[in-house]
Amino acid sequence: MIEYSSPNTNKPLHLGHIRNNLLGFSVAELLKADGKKIVKTNIVNDRGIHICKSMLAWQKWGNGATPESTGKKGDKLVGDYYVKFDQEYKKEIAELVASGIEKGKAEKQAPLLLEVQEMLRQWEAKEPKVYELWNKMNHWVYDGFDVTYKALGIDFDKIYYESNTYILGKKFVLEGLEKGILIKKEDGSIWADLTEDGLDQKILLRADGTSVYMTQDIGTAHQRFEEYQFDKHIYVVGNEQNYHFQVLKIVLKKLGYDWADRIEHLSYGMVELPEGKMKSREGTVVDADDLIAEMIDTARETSQDLGKLDDYNQTEKEEVYKTIALGALKYYMLKVDPKKGMMFNPKESIDFNGNTGPFIQYTYARIRSLIRKWDQDININIDIDKLSEKEIEILKTLFNFKAMISEAAKAYSPAMVANYVYELAKQFNQFYHDFPIFKENNVQLKEARIALSNFVGISIKNGMKILGIKVPEKM
């Protein structure tokens, strides 16, 4: 079981989510290629204080705005009110500080914060008006997410919602308290004491009875195990949450669930831009939809400059631009070891030379052009004695494909697949440059080289498929 995406319903998907989605999807494809049965899951974080912030801001300043009335995708509209809440909250803090209240106290006493805390309590009590608003705004966001997932070529076998699983989590937390596994503090909050495990104390239920992320993760993990009896559960989540998953495993073990040992955290590095770190509440993020559109524009511009698609009609061109753009984006994200942080540069990713998606896509298209030109059956019985040292090296690389997949699957590393495909494409281009196939007079040698080229094309296509990347027949 592989969990990835895990978006919050208070904002659209952004650049960081793109790395998460592409990594999760690709790891699933990689493990599938290694013979594993895979279940791809997503937990939608659709409740909590951050969701209520968007709701309260829309109530106060939305004037009834809807995706239809504004022409905005629902996730973007809701995200605007999350940013609006933060702006107004900061104004209130500034006013309180100016009146002589210490900043830390001002942050806790700001009227907007008290209102949003009350809204969360009302939501957990299923107060009809609050629940209705939550339902309406969440569905705007789901519709928006679906558009982005489709554009990225991402899917899931099962989607869970925090609004369902947190109730189950609360039940297990209360049972843990009854058994003396967990502790209750004077204010009524419930904690796990992990000091004997080398960690600290971790809150599981707040004093007002509302739950935290850990509560729902306990419930979700239990529900998933009951439903699927997974052998392994991989959480694809950024390295900012390393501590969270350490705690989750220990708490589940304390609650008596031995299958907690089957949980793994695929901790990946953050994506940054040349300008630095992104912050959703301040509105300084790179929106996923905007980035995809920008990548398509860049692919269009680059392809037109190079004149690579001059004999295509406009519809064909647009399809190839999209294929190049998404190939560039996915490859650039996945060629970096998951554990490492990365700097994303859209222009650099769309280059028809070097370690890029378009270079590999172009190599595949070149091979397909060769096969079309050959236009007869391919004799796969290659006489190795006739091949040069360079061609033997390509055969060795091809032979190593299955072993590479197994190694990459063990490491949960699509980067190893990307590196393999790039090396294969490089080897082929050098061979193609040194040995013009159709100028070869020896028919058997020509046949062998066509067969070799075909095998390279198949391996490139299979490798890129694991990365979620399409390869065009013509380019």
pLDDT digits (tens, 9 = 90+) for 272-284: 776 655 444 444 5
Amino acid at 451: A
Here the tokens at position 358 are 């378009």
Q: Does 316 lie in the same domain as 442? A: yes
Q: Does 297 lie in the same domain as 264? A: no
Q: Does 249 lie in the same domain as 190? A: yes
Which residue, 254, 287, 320, sits at the end of a domain? 287
Question: What mean pLDDT is predicted for residues 175-180?
Answer: 96
Using one digit for the tens of pLDDT, what is the confidence trace for 287-300?
899 889 988 988 88
Q: Does 316 lie in the same domain as 167? A: no
Which residue, 234, 258, 287, sits at the end of a domain? 287
- The H or E element spanning position 104 is helix 103-109
Domain assignment of residue 136, yes or no: yes
Q: Does 154 lie in the same domain as 35? A: yes
Q: Does 309 lie in the same domain as 198? A: no
Res. 308: pLDDT tops 80: no
Domain assignment of residue 92, yes or no: yes
Task: Please state the pTM of the whole predicted model.
Answer: 0.91
> Residue 320 burial by CB count (10 A; 0-12/13-18/19+): exposed, middle or buried?
buried
Q: Work out the percent of the chain whose per-residue pLDDT is above 90.
A: 79
> Residue 93 burial by CB count (10 A; 0-12/13-18/19+): exposed, middle or buried?
buried
Q: Does 282 lie in the same domain as 165? A: yes
Amino acid at 372: R
Query: CATH number for the domain including 462?
Result: 1.10.730.10
Domain assignment of residue 474, yes or no: no
Using one digit for the tens of pLDDT, what is the confidence trace for 230-281?
999 999 999 999 999 999 999 999 999 999 999 999 999 988 776 655 444 4
d(CA 397, CA 119): 60
Per-residue pLDDT at 284: 54
Domain assignment of residue 473, yes or no: no
Using one digit for the tens of pLDDT, what is the confidence trace for 428-447?
999 999 998 999 888 888 98
Domain assignment of residue 283, yes or no: yes
Which residue, 287, 311, 329, sits at the end of a domain? 287
The more confident residue out of 350 and 403 is 403
Here the tokens at position 222 are 């239990």
Q: Does 315 lie in the same domain as 274? A: no
Here the tokens at position 219 are 């419930």
The parent domain of residue 283 ranges over 2-287
Query: CATH number for the domain including 131?
Result: 3.40.50.620
Domain assignment of residue 64, yes or no: yes
In 3-state terms, the chain is what percent helix, strand and coil (to 5)? 65, 10, 25
Q: Does 384 lie in the same domain as 249? A: no
Taking the C-alpha atoms of 45, 47, 48 and 53 in order, what is their torsion angle to the nearest 10 degrees?
100
Q: Does 319 lie in the same domain as 174? A: no
- The H or E element spanning position 360 is helix 357-374
Domain assignment of residue 360, yes or no: yes
Per-residue pLDDT at 444: 86
Q: Does 227 lie in the same domain as 115? A: yes
Q: Does 176 lie in the same domain as 312? A: no
Structural domain tally of the chain?
Answer: 2
Amino acid at 321: Y
Domain assignment of residue 190, yes or no: yes
Per-residue pLDDT at 303: 80
Beta partners for residue 271, in sequence order: 342
What's the whole-number average pLDDT of the chain? 92
Confidence of residue 350 (pLDDT cuts 50, 70, 90): confident
Per-residue pLDDT at 160: 96
